[in-house]
Structure 1
């Protein structure tokens, strides 16, 4: 659980910092979009300190996630990553210099309470460390079709709906990456040679790279208020499904379905409140207030006129 929460903190920091870099780039660069220009934009991001800091946070998050999945259940570790919304709010309020209001905090409390209620009621069971032979192929096809459909639908949308569609596609890829990591860690007992000669390692690299590229598109498509809930909750729900199908992790049903549904509804209420919160919409993560300029000291190379104005250097 501690490793999962550390991973959530890293994810939240990465989203905020890379969103800041993306918005700085949007303000500085103008021009018609296109595949070549998008590649150039991605290359220029490598020189931005906020983006590099976000990349470092993402690497810490990935390492903590691998450790958590090696010793924990997929259907527990991934839902705990929903807590990255809280970390996103805290880090975002510092980076974008906007203080959240009480309504925003209430929404996150509802979201956290719903998550806790669902996990306690569902009580996911331990499953197998690896999937059965032949199960990965049909599951991979279903996930690939769903991701392609979401990406195709996103091209026809604009604004928040586009961010939600891309965020959902990214979430499915993240959940699939987590399941592949669990499959990979379950094969560590076979030795180093077996790890490097078997398919899970290379599948993790390929799907992880796709997730990374989709995340960059998601961050540019809309505000964090639209994309982040789809990213985190989508990841949690798809991971629970993959844990059940691939690794035999079961959730309690029967009478426990009542608190489980209540937890889901509470999480949904928190998400709705979050997306409507004044603190996280209307440019919360698009503009950074400029520091006030001291009027008493002229800028270097710009002499003052006798009337108090600044001359042209």
Structure 2
């Protein structure tokens, strides 16, 4: 495929897809605050949200984003498309500021840019290769235990840590569940291609997706509800999701990533950028949250 086709179709599709994801996240972040809080994994929240037309519209926006992602991947390489898609962090922050009728905070923008840039650099350097859709026979349990423990610890942190730090815990758990869902969906898709429509129903992976996927989506809505600002939670979800998916691809599906000393050094720098961006977003969100709370207190205008 020539470079002109990639530039004309793949890149615009990826950019608009990222914008669609960012817009949907901004809408959901706003609407989730209009429904009662409840237990972290209580499905009652979704029943409350589905009665909000603007929230239902945001789900349509997600479908548009996913469709454009498929188009982008059909006409462009993963190493180009996936880094473009992570700009949804910037779009989400911008749309959230627009919906709230306020200016985009420069520190939040810098943190989001650092996080998105670090992830994009990591993906470009790692150059994930292979399209594994079958388990290679390698042990599934070790990585499954690590990811499961990470979710449990993250949910524990969300329960006990205050403010935005607790929100980060929810976001990490969400990103892990999203990444696991994406990884297992590749297996389900492979079963469908080789055995037809009925084949996936004979394997545990489809049923795991049907449980883990909705759990991840519910956690994402709870994360948006608890977070005062969208940037930290969206940045963490967008970062953890592809990393967890890549870990599954390498460990379970026989995919490979670049791992030379120079590449590993570059990946370490990219990881530092991601972590630094998340720290900046979290601390700035805590500060802005306190300022907004003071403004909302009775008599604070005097």
- TM-score category by the smaller chain? 0.7 to 0.9
**Alignment pair present for 1:146 and 2:137:** no
The aligned counterpart of 2:225 is 220
Offset from partner CA, 1:180-204 (integer Å, 9 cap, x none) = 1111222232222223433333322
Separation of aligned partners in 2, 1:250 and 1:165:
27
Q: Normalising to structure 2: TM-score of the pair?
A: 0.76
**Alignment pair present for 1:10 and 2:20:** yes
The aligned counterpart of 1:263 is 270
Separation of aligned partners in 1, 2:292 and 2:133:
40
Choose the corresponding residue for 1:124, options 128, 144, 158. Answer: 128
Between Structure 1 and Structure 2, which shows a larger proportion of helix residues? 2
Separation of aligned partners in 1, 2:201 and 2:248:
24
* C-alpha spacing 1:44/1:79, structure 2 compared with 1 (3 Å): same
* C-alpha spacing 1:260/1:137, structure 2 compared with 1 (3 Å): closer
**Alignment pair present for 1:235 and 2:252:** no
Deviation of 1:160 (Å): 1.0
Separation of aligned partners in 1, 2:184 and 2:63:
17
Choose the corresponding residue for 1:274, options 266, 273, 281. Answer: 281
Paired residue secondary structure (2:35): helix
Separation of aligned partners in 1, 2:284 and 2:38:
34
Contact 2:97 2:104 in 1 (8 A): yes
Q: Which has the larger radius of gyration?
A: 1
The aligned counterpart of 1:168 is 172
Deviation of 1:125 (Å): 2.7
Paired residue secondary structure (1:251): coil
* C-alpha spacing 1:202/1:150, structure 2 compared with 1 (3 Å): same
The aligned counterpart of 1:195 is 200
RMSD: 3.6
Deviation of 1:88 (Å): 0.4
Separation of aligned partners in 2, 1:86 and 1:167:
17
Deviation of 1:155 (Å): 2.0
Range with greater deviation from structure 2 (55-64 or 74-83): 74-83
The aligned counterpart of 1:210 is 215
Gaps of 5+ in 1: 27-32, 287-313
Paired residue secondary structure (1:98): coil
Separation of aligned partners in 1, 2:66 and 2:292:
24
* C-alpha spacing 1:242/1:98, structure 2 compared with 1 (3 Å): same
* C-alpha spacing 1:285/1:225, structure 2 compared with 1 (3 Å): farther
> What does residue range 73-92 of structure 1 map to in structure 2 within 5 Å?
81-92=85-96
Range with greater deviation from structure 2 (112-121 or 245-254): 112-121
Contact 1:75 1:240 in 2 (8 A): no
The aligned counterpart of 2:7 is none
Gaps of 5+ in 2: 1-9, 294-302
